[in-house]
Amino acid sequence: MTDTSELAGGVAIVTGGSRGIGLGISRALARGGAGVAVVARNGERAAAAAAELEGEGHAAHTCDVADPRACRRTVAAVESRQGPVTILVNNAGIARDNILPRMRDEDWSRVIDTNLGGAFNMIRAVSRGMMKRRAGCIVNVTSVIGLVGNAGQANYAASKAGLHGLTRTVAKELASRNIRCNAVAPGFIRTDMTAGLPEARVRELKERIPAGRLGEPADVAGVVRFLAGPEAGYITGQIIAVDGGMAM
C-alpha cells in the first residue's frame, strides 16, 4: 500500500492515544508521517502504544488532562523532546452515566472537567506556540450525543455540546494565525467504553444505524488524519459526524 506521508515533519499530541479511538488516531497520524506524543494517565499503556507505532519520533507522556498544570508541563515536555506541536487531537474522554436525579456531583464534575476542561487545558497550552509559529491544527473528538442528547448522559452530552462551542470559538479566534480547529463526532464505536453494553442494547443500536454496524476506531481515525492534513487546509469550525448515518 502506498502512503502519502503528508504529515511528515509534524508533531501530533493525541490525548487518550493509548486505547480505543485514540490508539486508532495515533496509528493513523504515525502512518501519515507525524511524530506522535501519546498522552494518557496510565504511563505503561501509553508507552506500549507509542512503541508499536510505525515510523520514528514517537513518545509517551503521563498526564491527567483535567489538571491544567499537568497539561502545561506535558506540552513543554513534548516540545523539548519531540519538537514544536503542529497537531493537537483532544480525544481523552470518559463517561459516568446515571439518570439526572441520581447523578452525583463528582460524576458531573469529573466528566465536564475531563472531556471539556481537558480540551480547553490542552488548547490553551499549545496555543501560544502555534500562534507564534502561525501554524497548527486542532481536532476535538466529541460525540453525536453532543448533538442530539441522550437520557442518562446529562454530564457527557453537556461536555460534548460544550466542545462544539469551544471548537467553533477556537476556529474563529485563531483562524487569522493559520490555526484550524474542527470536531469529529463519532456515533457508537467498538472500544472499551462501549464493551460493557448488553447484547440486546447493541442489537437495538444497530437497528438505529443506517450502516447496520457499530463503527471501528479506524473509521474515526481516517477522518482525523484528513482534518489534520493539508488537504483540509480550508476547513475550520466544522463538526463532522462519523456515525454510519445514526444522527441524520
Shortest Å distance, C-beta 140 to ligand NAP: 9
State the cell numbers at 24. 486508532
d(CA 240, CA 27): 20
Instruction: Decide if 190 contacts 216 (C-beta within 8 A).
Output: yes
Residue 220 CA to residue 88 CA, distance in Å, equals 15
Compute the 3-state secondary structure of the chain and give helix, strand, coil in percent, each to the nearest 5.
50, 15, 35
**Whose CA is closest to 163, among 77, 87, 91?**
91
Contact present, 237 and 168 (Cβ < 8 Å): yes
Given the rule CB under 6 A, which residues bind ligand NAP?
15-16, 18-22, 40-42, 45, 63-66, 91-94, 114, 118, 141, 143, 186, 188-189, 191-194
- Amino acid at residue number 228: A
Residue 190 CB partners (closer than 8 Å, separation 6+): 214, 215, 216, 217
Burial of 20 (0-12, 13-18, 19+ CB in 10 A): buried
Sign (positive or negative) of CA dihedral 51, 53, 57, 63: negative
Question: What minimum distance in Å lies between the beta carbon of 125 and ligand NAP?
Answer: 13
- Residue 204 burial (CB count, 10 A): 11
Tell me how far, at minimum, the Cβ of 115 lies from ligand NAP, in Å.
6
CB 13, min distance to ligand NAP, A: 11
Q: Which of 108, 120, 156, 188 is catalytic?
A: 156
Verify whether residue 156 is a known catalytic residue.
yes
Identity of the residue, 1 or 200, whose beta carbon is nearer to ligand NAP in the bound complex = 200
Closest approach, Cβ 114 to ligand NAP, in A, equals 4
- Active-site residue set: 156
